[in-house]
Amino acid sequence: MPSTITTGYKALLERANAEVEAIDAATAITLLGNEDYVLVDLRDPRELKRDGKIPGAFHCPRGMLEFWIDPDSPYAKEVFQQDKTFVFYCASGWRSALSAKTAQDMGLSPVRHIAGGISAWKAAGGRVDMPE
Query: At 111, which CATH number?
Result: 3.40.250.10
- 61 is a domain residue: yes
Please give the sequence-ordered ranges of beta strands (E in DSSP) within the chain, or none if there are none: 21-23, 37-41, 58-59, 85-89, 111-114
Q: Which residues pair with 123 in a beta bridge?
A: none
Domain that holds residue 116: 21-123
26: closest CA among 128, 124, 132, 122?
Answer: 124
- For residue 73, being part of any structural domain is answered with yes
pTM exceeding the 0.75 threshold for the entire prediction: yes
- Please check whether residue 109 lies inside any domain of the structure: yes
* Domain assignment of residue 88, yes or no: yes
In contact, 77 and 66? CB cutoff 8 Å:
no
Domain assignment present for 63: yes
CA atoms within 13 A on the CB side of 83: 0
CB atoms within 10 A of CB 97: 26
83 in a structural domain: yes
Sequence-ordered list of residues with C-beta below 8 angstroms from that of 37, at least 6 positions apart, any chain = 31, 84, 85, 86, 87
pLDDT tens sequence across 29-70: 999 999 999 999 999 999 999 999 999 999 999 999 999 999
Mind listing the pLDDT tens digit for each residue in 80-129? 999 999 999 999 999 999 999 999 999 999 999 999 999 999 999 999 99
Rounded Cα distance, 39 and 48, in Å: 14
> Domain for residue 99, yes or no?
yes
Count of the separate structural domains present in the chain: 1
- The answer to whether residue 7 is domain-embedded is no
